[in-house]
Amino acid sequence: MKITISQPELSRLASMAGNVVPNKSTLPILSTILLNASGEGLSLSATDLDLSIVIKADAEIESHGTVAIPAKRFSDIVRKLDSVDVVLEQKEGSLSISCGRAHFQISTMDAEDFPKLPGTQGVETFVAPSGTFKNMIRRTRFAVSQDLARPSMNGIFMELNSGNITMVATDGHRLSFYKKPEDLQLDNDYGVIIPSKALDQLMRLLPDDGDLEIGIGDNQSFFKTGDIHLFTRLIEGPFPNYQQVVPKGNSKTMSINKDALLVATDRVATLAASLTTRQIKLIIQKDQLALEVANSEIGKAREEIEAAYDEEEMMVGYNATYLLDVLKNMDCEEINFKLDRPDNAGIIEPAELEDGEEYFSLLMPLKLSD
Amino acid sequence: MRSAIRPLAPETINRIAAGEVVESPGSVLKELIENSLDAGATRIELEFAGGGINLLKLSDDGHGIPREELSEALERHSTSKIRELTDIEDTGTLGFRGEALAAIASVSLLEICSRVEEDDSAWAITSRGGTVEQVRPAARARGTSVTVRELFGDVPVRRKFLKSETAEKRRLQSLWHTYVLAWPELAFILREEGRELSHYPATTDMRERARQILGDTTARHMVEVDMESEGYRLTGLATLPLISRGNRSHQFLYLGRRPIADGSVSHAISQAYSEMLVPGRFPATVLFLETPPGLVDVNVHPAKREVRFRDSRRIHHIVNRGLKSAIHGEGDLGQLLARDSDLLLGAPRSGRAAEGDAQKEIFGRPVVDAPFTGGSGGGSPAHSSGHLPGGKPASPLNTRVGGSGLFMSLSTGEDAEEIANSSGVNVNDEQREERLFWQLHNTFILTQIRGGLVIIDQHNAHERVLFDEARAALDGEKMGCQRLLFPHTVELDANEMAAWQEQASLFSDLGFLIEEFGDHTLSVVGIPDSLRRWDDGQVIRDILDDVLAETGGITEKRDRALMSFACKSAIKAGEGMRDEEMRHLVDQLFGTGNPYTCPHGRPIVIRISMDELEKRFHRTVPEGN
């Protein structure tokens, strides 16, 4: 294999592929990037077995070949090269990298050992707007559970049918829900759980404009944008029956400026940042919300904010971090805080939504210590 | 043929009695030494040979025995210590039964040589197997020497029961130390076949005597115990929990100054340390109990080793409380340990020997020439007070722990506060923007204090914080309860279910919200705010296991349950922490009663001083170069 490629392009590709390479692995081959030069052009691949990436690139190909190179070392070198053409040439057991008057020769691994990546055959594919998809992930993934003991919650549940995309995430303490009408050309309805790791990569790789091609198979899914293919294993369900737990009867609504609430919560929660408790108390009165944190060891904080509320007075506790997460992901000026009783779930949603759009976050209360 | 019933000959009676009182050289020593102590000796000397079987000679400078009483001394139940039965209860002396000398005499070759102040000469008397010879003149200064040779020489049956000479020697020495420890104001000299084994000069300070017997490190890390309640009093010394031993051999208990053994006291000691020492590790303690007159019976057994307390629960209570308040007293623990880099560096790993001379380790390597131990060798603590245990005046052990040269190269006192007030980490204004906390391998929190570096085990630290919080929760300040969207179910067996029903309030105090859901299933609709790992309900089963465990009282069981809870809730090694979280954890840690050991007794904090680091990097030039 011998190819010539521009340094900025190679560096960009190497770092993109490098992001998928696992930090620690018992399989040494997984710490490499597979470079493949063929009649179809140059491709870079990396995988951790659950998540794989294949990037196609433009390069001047002199001779074909495949080589597995240590990812970290390769991208470190490439990044530091001058911004001119780089020549990569496969040698016996090594790869030479030449750029201007700089020459490197690094040991490679046997490309035969590199895992075979899943293909795109036999999966139904459809197209969705990349920006929409990315935004939906961004606004729901904060609720994804980190608790490995409940794998079905370790990702976003994505429901797809011909008319809508729905994304739901929950960790059992809070839930985020986003449904957007989208005309997808789909024959079947799908409900799949996309793991966190894939979500991270999607957030990184998806452009804000353009199309995203999505393919859904039995236990694999792929996402294609431009020259990038991302394959991910899907989490086996079932996803918890979330519809059942979303309360329908939260009739006491407080309207409040989102930024004011976010800023005040963040301020007051300074005293609720311990590992042990993050409890913040919301005291909701007529047209006023008071936030309180009281910690017998650390101290107390209280802040009042204007709010529109005309129901009975109520006091409810939440985990301050959870509340902040919710607020940070609200892209709006006003929010509605819908409550029922202090020990029931509270629902927070933007005051205004586009037609047919549904977005809300649900927070389970922290029972206040008496 | 039937034998006629006859009264036994006096020698026979003595020999039978000897079986109760005299069973080994150790028991002979005990009787002799108590006589010497009762005689007001200031210097006691023991010489022995053949493990005490061939020769045991105890000499004192006490008030002596007048010539005319010498032969009576060898008669059974003759004593100068009590006259009537009622005297027993209020006896202030160690011996009183009056059977010891006669009993010993009946099974050995015994010689008493004594001189009273007023007499011009000393007098001696010899008894062979109980046959007393004439009193004869002898020479010695004031006091008494009792020489016992050939113990059980003509009682082969009993001789067979003696252990090897080495074993008897060991018992003899350990008993000797028991007395030496309780009587610091006396000088004790021990000789074996003419060779001096030990010489403890008289001292006015209990801690100095403890140092002589238990070693420098142990004594330095002992705190003073002093607790009084309704006529009972407990005084003495007890080690801080980072010093421990693998058995109870360094636990000394005295009633007055009579050595005793008592199960409930041992238990109370273990309980007082239970939260700070791992199981199987024991503190060193030297405890003196005083009880109101009439509330203890010492006449249970001729050897008086066991006594009967009228109210053993009260004894248990005062020991437990006395020790706890001593080791937690006035923030002492925190202050002392934080300052004591020597101790922290050499902190015992769980289950490993940690006695004074044990090798100190850091990062698995022995600390060679730990910089702060120098000069503490023989130095007696600075503020000794003249009080002795058993005596009346208060405050017997007025020295601060580590009063010797330990802290010489440290700026005293302030480091502890620095740690305690984590924002007090030494930064000047330019440095304020720098990070104050580093997480090492997602496991340890590193922070800088003026004197060096502090390493905190994040899991142990968090465990301590949660344990204290959970305990507070049981006393009122309930834990926050995070309600769940999707209830967890936990299946229990019949025993566990019963235990749950019994302990439902414990769970709700901790912040669980649990409903019964059929015969064997709990539905968990809320979990403690602080619980980090649900682990499929393992925490519930663990707590129930602890409650179900056979051993321990209610409090112990609850404490164990809280430990399980704290352990499950605490951040694990390997979990990343944000700066804020680290800061809060350290803040909270130093707000707890004992920031230095986790509830299981494992260390939380290690401090490495700049001096230590500089020394390791050979930055300090050794003196004289």
- The answer on pLDDT for A80 being more than 90 is yes
Q: Does A173 touch chain B (CB under 8 A)?
A: yes
Q: Within chain A, which residue ranges are assigned CATH 3.10.150.10?
A: 2-113, 124-243, 247-363
For residues A206 and A212, the answer to whether their CB atoms sit within 8 Å is: yes
Q: Is residue B576 part of a domain?
A: no
B469 and A276 within 8 Å at the Cβ level: the answer is yes
Tell me what the mean pLDDT of segment B330-341 comes to: 44
Which positions in chain B touch A175 (Cβ < 8 Å)? 485
Task: Please indicate, yes or no, whether residues B150 and B59 belong to a single structural domain of this protein.
Answer: yes
For residues A206 and A194, the answer to whether their CB atoms sit within 8 Å is: no
Q: Which of A308-312, B42-46, B124-128, B351-355 is the least confident region?
A: B351-355
Tell me what the mean pLDDT of segment B164-177 comes to: 84
- The answer on pLDDT for B348 being more than 80 is no
Question: Residue B161 — φ and ψ, nearest 5°?
Answer: -80, -10
| Local confidence band at B424 (pLDDT 50, 70, 90 cut-offs) | very low
Task: Please indicate, yes or no, whether residues B133 and B53 belong to a single structural domain of this protein.
Answer: yes
* Mutation site for B-interface testing, chosen from A276, A316, A340, A368 by largest number of B Cβ within 10 Å: A276
B466 and A368 within 8 Å at the Cβ level: the answer is no
How far is residue B255's CA from residue B239's CA, in Å, rounded to a whole number?
20
Q: Is residue B322 part of a domain?
A: yes
A297 and B466 within 8 Å at the Cβ level: the answer is no
Percent of the residues in chain B that have a pLDDT greater than 70, as a whole number: 72
Task: Tell me what pLDDT residue B80 has.
Answer: 58
Q: Give A349 to chain B, closest Cα distance, Å.
A: 18
- The answer on pLDDT for B89 being more than 70 is no
Q: Which of B482, B511, B591 sits opposite A319 (nearest CB)?
A: B482
Q: Which of A173, A175, A369 sits opposite B480 (nearest CB)?
A: A369
Q: Which of A266-280, B82-96, B417-431 is the least confident region?
A: B417-431
Three-state DSSP class for residue B117? coil
**And the tokens for B611?**
């001096």
| Local confidence band at A258 (pLDDT 50, 70, 90 cut-offs) | very high
Tell me how many residue pairs between chain A and chain B have CB atoms under 8 A apart: 89
Task: Please indicate, yes or no, whether residues B40 and B177 belong to a single structural domain of this protein.
Answer: yes
Tell me what the mean pLDDT of segment B449-454 comes to: 80
Task: Please indicate, yes or no, whether residues B122 and B181 belong to a single structural domain of this protein.
Answer: yes
Three-state DSSP class for residue B499? helix
Which positions in chain B touch A172 (Cβ < 8 Å)? 484-486
Q: Is residue B465 part of a domain?
A: no
Q: Give A121 to chain B, closest Cα distance, Å.
A: 38
For residues A226 and A210, the answer to whether their CB atoms sit within 8 Å is: yes
The dihedral built from the CA positions of residue B260, B262, B267 and B272, taken in this order, carries a sign that is negative
- The answer on pLDDT for B413 being more than 50 is no
How far is residue A178's CA from residue A364's CA, in Å, rounded to a whole number?
18
User: Looking at the 3D structure of chain B, how many domains does it have?
Assistant: 3
| Local confidence band at B361 (pLDDT 50, 70, 90 cut-offs) | very low
Q: Which residue of B has its CA nearest to A343?
A: B483
Q: What is the DSSP letter of B23?
A: S
| Local confidence band at B383 (pLDDT 50, 70, 90 cut-offs) | very low
Domain containing B496: what range? Answer: 480-529+533-569
Tens digit of each residue's pLDDT (9 = 90 or more) over B499-542: 888 888 888 888 888 988 888 889 999 988 877 777 778 888 88
| Local confidence band at B385 (pLDDT 50, 70, 90 cut-offs) | very low
Q: Is residue B239 part of a domain?
A: yes
CA B369 to chain centre: 27
Task: Please indicate, yes or no, whether residues B382 and B241 belong to a single structural domain of this protein.
Answer: yes
How far is residue A224's CA from residue B454's CA, in Å, rounded to a whole number?
50
Q: Which of B486, B511, B529 sits opposite A245 (nearest CB)?
A: B486
**Top-confidence range, B116-120, B189-193, B219-223, B351-355:** B189-193
Q: Is residue B443 part of a domain?
A: no
How far is residue B386's CA from residue B184's CA, in Å, rounded to a whole number?
10
- The answer on pLDDT for A352 being more than 80 is yes
| Local confidence band at B19 (pLDDT 50, 70, 90 cut-offs) | low
Closest CA to B113 of B153, B73, B170, B85: B73
Tens digit of each residue's pLDDT (9 = 90 or more) over A47-74: 998 999 999 998 999 999 999 999 999 9
Q: Which of A173, A275, A296 sits opposite B484 (nearest CB)?
A: A173
Tell me what the mean pLDDT of segment B257-286 comes to: 83
Task: Give the CATH H-level superfamily of domain A247-363.
Answer: DNA Polymerase III, subunit A, domain 2 (3.10.150.10)
Task: Tell me what pLDDT residue B3 has.
Answer: 61
The residue assigned the tokens 């998809």 is A133
Fold of A124-243: DNA Polymerase III; Chain A, domain 2 (3.10.150)
Tell me what the mean pLDDT of segment B564-571 comes to: 84
Q: Which of A362-366, B323-327, B367-371 is the least confident region?
A: B367-371
**Top-confidence range, B319-323, B418-422, B557-561:** B319-323
Q: At what angle do helices B458-474 and B494-510 cross, to 10 degrees?
A: 90
Task: Tell me what pLDDT residue A229 has.
Answer: 93
Tell me what the mean pLDDT of segment A258-270 comes to: 93
Tell me what the mean pLDDT of segment B367-390 comes to: 35
Environment class of B314 (CB within 10 Å of its CB; exposed 0-12, middle 13-18, buried 19+): middle
For residues B166 and B122, the answer to whether their CB atoms sit within 8 Å is: no
Count of beta carbons in the 10 Å neighbourhood of residue A191: 15
Task: Please indicate, yes or no, whether residues B63 and B171 belong to a single structural domain of this protein.
Answer: yes
Q: Which residue among B162, B179, B202 closes a domain?
A: B202
Secondary structure (H, E, C), chain A: CEEEEEHHHHHHHHHHHHCCCCCCCCCHHHHEEEEEEECCEEEEEEECCCEEEEEEECCEEEECEEEEEEHHHHHHHHHHCCCCEEEEEEECCEEEEEECCEEEEEECECHHHCCCCCCCCCCEEEEEEHHHHHHHHHHHHHHCCCCCCCHHHCEEEEEECCCEEEEEEECCCEEEEEEEECCCCCCCCEEEEEEHHHHHHHHHHCCCCCEEEEEECCCEEEEEECCEEEEEECECCCCCCHHHHCCCCCCEEEEEEHHHHHHHHHHHHHHHCCCCCCEEEEEEECCEEEEEEEECCCEEEEEEEECECCCCCEEEEEEHHHHHHHHHCCCCCEEEEEECCCCCCEEEEECCCCCCCEEEEEECCEECCC
Q: Which residue of A has its CA nearest to B537?
A: A149
Environment class of A283 (CB within 10 Å of its CB; exposed 0-12, middle 13-18, buried 19+): middle
Task: Tell me what pLDDT residue B410 has.
Answer: 29
A317 and B480 within 8 Å at the Cβ level: the answer is yes
Task: Please indicate, yes or no, whether residues B301 and B264 belong to a single structural domain of this protein.
Answer: yes
Q: Which of B480, B580, B591 sits opposite A277 (nearest CB)?
A: B480
Q: Which of A279-283, A358-362, B395-399, B418-422 is the least confident region?
A: B395-399
- The answer on pLDDT for B395 being more than 70 is no
How far is residue B221's CA from residue B211's CA, in Å, rounded to a whole number?
10
Q: Is residue B68 part of a domain?
A: yes
Tell me what the mean pLDDT of segment A144-163 comes to: 88
Q: Which residue of B has its CA nearest to A247?
A: B485
Task: Tell me what pLDDT residue B429 has.
Answer: 39
Tens digit of each residue's pLDDT (9 = 90 or more) over A184-241: 888 888 999 999 999 999 999 999 999 999 999 888 899 999 899 999 999 998 999 9
Task: Tell me what pLDDT residue B347 has.
Answer: 35
Task: Please indicate, yes or no, whether residues B215 and B198 belong to a single structural domain of this protein.
Answer: no
Tens digit of each residue's pLDDT (9 = 90 or more) over B223-264: 888 888 888 889 999 988 777 777 788 889 998 888 888 888
Q: Does A294 touch chain B (CB under 8 A)?
A: no
How far is residue B390's CA from residue B484's CA, in Å, rounded to a whole number?
60
Task: Tell me what pLDDT residue B301 has.
Answer: 61
Task: Tell me what pLDDT residue B331 has.
Answer: 45
Q: Which of A297, A364, A366 sits opposite B485 (nearest CB)?
A: A364
Task: Please indicate, yes or no, whether residues B42 and B151 belong to a single structural domain of this protein.
Answer: yes
Task: Tell me what pLDDT residue A98 has.
Answer: 94
Task: Tell me what pLDDT residue B572 has.
Answer: 85
Percent of the residues in chain A that have a pLDDT greater than 90, as a whole number: 71
For residues B37 and B129, the answer to whether their CB atoms sit within 8 Å is: no
Q: Which of A174, A240, A297 sits opposite B588 (nearest CB)?
A: A297
- CATH number of the domain bearing residue B508: 3.30.1370.100
Q: Does A364 touch chain B (CB under 8 A)?
A: yes
Q: Which residue of A has its CA nearest to B576?
A: A275
Q: Is residue B470 part of a domain?
A: no
Task: Tell me what pLDDT residue B557 has.
Answer: 76
- The answer on pLDDT for B447 being more than 50 is yes
- CATH number of the domain bearing residue B303: 3.30.230.10
Q: What is the DSSP letter of B348?
A: P
**And the tokens for A136?**
């939906």
Q: Give A274 to chain B, closest Cα distance, Å.
A: 5
How far is residue B281's CA from residue B287's CA, in Å, rounded to a whole number?
18
Percent of the residues in chain A that have a pLDDT greater than 70, as a whole number: 97
Window A:233-272, CB contacts with B under 8 Å: 240, 242, 245
Which positions in chain B touch A279 (Cβ < 8 Å)? 480, 529
Q: Is residue B289 part of a domain?
A: yes
Task: Tell me what pLDDT residue B7 has.
Answer: 66
Q: Kindly state the helix (H) or strand (E) to which residue B212 belongs, with its residue range.
A: helix B206-214
CATH no. of A2-113: 3.10.150.10
Tell me what the mean pLDDT of segment A106-123 comes to: 86
Question: Residue B552 — φ and ψ, nearest 5°?
Answer: 90, 155
Count of beta carbons in the 10 Å neighbourhood of residue A94: 15
Task: Please indicate, yes or no, whether residues B93 and B194 belong to a single structural domain of this protein.
Answer: yes
- CATH number of the domain bearing residue B146: 3.30.565.10
Task: Tell me what pLDDT residue B415 has.
Answer: 40
Percent of the residues in chain B that have a pLDDT greater than 90, as a whole number: 6
Complex-level ipTM: 0.75
Tens digit of each residue's pLDDT (9 = 90 or more) over B44-57: 999 998 888 888 89
| Local confidence band at B87 (pLDDT 50, 70, 90 cut-offs) | very low
